């Protein structure tokens, strides 16, 4: 049977289209870089975590550790040489990749700053280093404590981001200004940004940064006045806009927080229960004049002797006689965690573990550990939960509730439980 000329032309056109399509696809594949075709996953420990479902309401103190399952076999394969000091991980041999120019180099540069967000893989770029060489680990063994610390970091950042998304969604769209980074200290050698939260170990953290910067050989050698009144450490807001954005985009950003009521009581004890040439005349006088009936002339002259309930009255007054202070301001205002994506969130309550874990991650000198000494009033007991409850027992139930409301975003964002059962 002979095909009609029209049918033959259609068959030829269809065959030509198929041939051109196949040729175009082969040309496209040949021009692609293999790294662009592969899934772009940041090197790191890969955790087998079930997807989190949106929560109807996020409450402080909630925990989702039960929803997280670690695949130990996979973790063993992927843990990197960036383990904490003295940690040995047994990692199977993996092929040594050789860096190339072009898109692969750009991809590697984008990955470098994500050191803390996801653990490095067995073959990883050295973080905070100008070298582009890859590092291959030696024989090591799995340490469950290190894995636990990493999981804790992932959970803290997840809770913080959920709280920001729910209550401060507009904050993430604002441009960063010098005011937002005025509490952030810069350590360029190890490419670290530290947001200072007073009464959460900030004095000792600044000592650590000074040692990292080569300004001192030991944290024990650095006096209190040098830490707080010297100019050795630079603040991020002293750089121009390009310098600020460059460091925010490439340095490891960290902050340490503390249970809000404990931090508040610690600040009160430090500033009002000991002689102080600034807080007594500036804050003490104004508080006593406003909130103490029949205050003595001596008290009004010196500003000494402020009581905790009077201090709370000042804190909760929308028309305060004197402004706020960084020692009792919200962490959400000091560090802008809904605007700045922090890589590491430590807690005062687990300071030793968190601090030394962080120092290991940034490859700090092996002899540098977080100092344990109390910076001021060393003979006085640290503010604990028990001491905090003693101070808050002086308040009415309404004052406790209003104080909790005042710090609600800090409780929510950093997953602290309600300190009293009658709070809502």
Sign for the CA dihedral angle at 24, 26, 27, 29 comes to positive
Per-residue pLDDT, averaged over 242-270, amounts to: 97
> For position 28, what pLDDT does the model report?
55
Q: CA 422 to CA 402: how far, in whole Å?
A: 12
Q: Across the chain, what does the average pLDDT equal?
A: 77
Query: Beta strands 344-347 and 252-257: pairing type?
Result: parallel
Indicate the SS3 state at residue 235: strand
Residue 67 near residue 52 (C-beta atoms within 8 A): yes
Query: Does residue 26 carry a pLDDT above 50?
Result: yes
Sign for the CA dihedral angle at 263, 266, 271, 272 comes to positive
Q: CA 193 to CA 195: how far, in whole Å?
A: 7
DSSP letter string, 355-397: HHHHHHHTT--TT-----S-SS-TTSPPP-HHHHHHHHTTS-H
Indicate the SS3 state at residue 124: strand
> For position 24, what pLDDT does the model report?
66
What count of other Cβ atoms lies within 10 Å of the Cβ of residue 401? 15
Q: Which residues contact 334 (CB under 8 A, 6 or more apart)?
A: 183, 195, 196, 197, 326
Q: CA 325 to CA 308: how far, in whole Å?
A: 16
- Residue-wise pLDDT tens digits, 323-354: 999 999 999 999 999 999 999 999 999 999 99
Residue 391 near residue 265 (C-beta atoms within 8 A): yes
Indicate the SS3 state at residue 275: coil
Residue 334 near residue 195 (C-beta atoms within 8 A): yes
Q: Which pTM value belongs to this model?
A: 0.68
Confidence of residue 93 (pLDDT cuts 50, 70, 90): very low
Confidence of residue 8 (pLDDT cuts 50, 70, 90): low
Confidence of residue 108 (pLDDT cuts 50, 70, 90): very low
Confidence of residue 123 (pLDDT cuts 50, 70, 90): very low
- Residue-wise pLDDT tens digits, 369-405: 999 877 777 678 899 999 999 999 999 999 999 999 9
Per-residue pLDDT, averaged over 289-309, amounts to: 96
Query: Does residue 134 carry a pLDDT above 50?
Result: no
What count of other Cβ atoms lies within 10 Å of the Cβ of residue 302? 15
């Amino acid at each position: 049977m002979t095909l009609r000329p029209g049918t033959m032309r259609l068959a030829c056109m269809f065959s030509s289209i198929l041939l051109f399509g196949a040729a175009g696809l082969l040309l496209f594949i040949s021009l692609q870089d293999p790294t662009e075709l592969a899934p772009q996953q940041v090197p790191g420990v890969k955790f087998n975590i079930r997807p989190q479902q949106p929560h109807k309401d996020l409450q402080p103190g909630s925990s989702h550790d039960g929803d997280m399952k670690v695949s130990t076999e996979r973790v063993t394969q992927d843990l990197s040489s960036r383990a904490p000091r003295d940690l040995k991980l047994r990692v199977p041999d993996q092929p040594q990749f050789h860096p190339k120019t072009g898109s692969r180099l750009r991809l590697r540069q984008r990955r470098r700053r994500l050191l803390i967000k996801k653990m490095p893989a067995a073959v990883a770029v050295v973080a905070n280093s100008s070298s582009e060489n890859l590092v291959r680990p030696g024989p090591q063994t799995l340490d469950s404590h290190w894995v636990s610390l990493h999981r804790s970091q992932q959970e803290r950042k997840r809770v913080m981001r959920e709280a920001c998304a729910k209550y401060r969604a507009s904050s993430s769209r604002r441009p960063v200004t010098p005011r937002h980074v005025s509490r952030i200290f810069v350590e360029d050698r190890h490419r670290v940004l530290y947001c200072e939260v007073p009464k959460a170990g900030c004095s000792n953290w600044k000592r650590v940064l000074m040692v990292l910067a080569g300004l001192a050989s030991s944290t024990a050698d650095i006096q209190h006045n040098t830490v707080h009144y010297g100019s050795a450490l630079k603040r991020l807001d002293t750089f121009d806009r390009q310098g600020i954005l460059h460091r925010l985009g490439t340095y490891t950003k960290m902050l340490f927080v503390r249970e809000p009521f404990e931090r508040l009581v610690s600040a009160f004890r430090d500033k009002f229960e000991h002689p102080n040439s600034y807080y007594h005349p500036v804050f003490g006088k104004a508080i006593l004049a406003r909130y103490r009936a029949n205050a003595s002339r001596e008290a009004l002259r010196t500003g000494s002797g402020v009581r905790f309930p009077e201090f709370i009255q000042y804190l909760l007054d929308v028309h305060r006689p004197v402004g706020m202070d960084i020692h009792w301001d919200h962490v959400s205002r000091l560090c802008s965690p809904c605007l700045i994506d922090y890589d590491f969130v430590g807690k005062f309550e687990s300071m030793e573990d968190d601090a030394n874990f962080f120092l290991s991650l940034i490859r700090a000198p092996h002899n540098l550990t977080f100092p344990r000494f109390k910076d001021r009033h060393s003979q006085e007991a640290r503010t604990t939960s028990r001491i905090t409850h003693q101070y808050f027992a002086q308040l009415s139930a309404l004052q406790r509730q209003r104080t909790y409301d005042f710090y609600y975003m800090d409780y929510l964002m950093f997953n602290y439980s309600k300190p009293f059962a009658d709070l809502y």
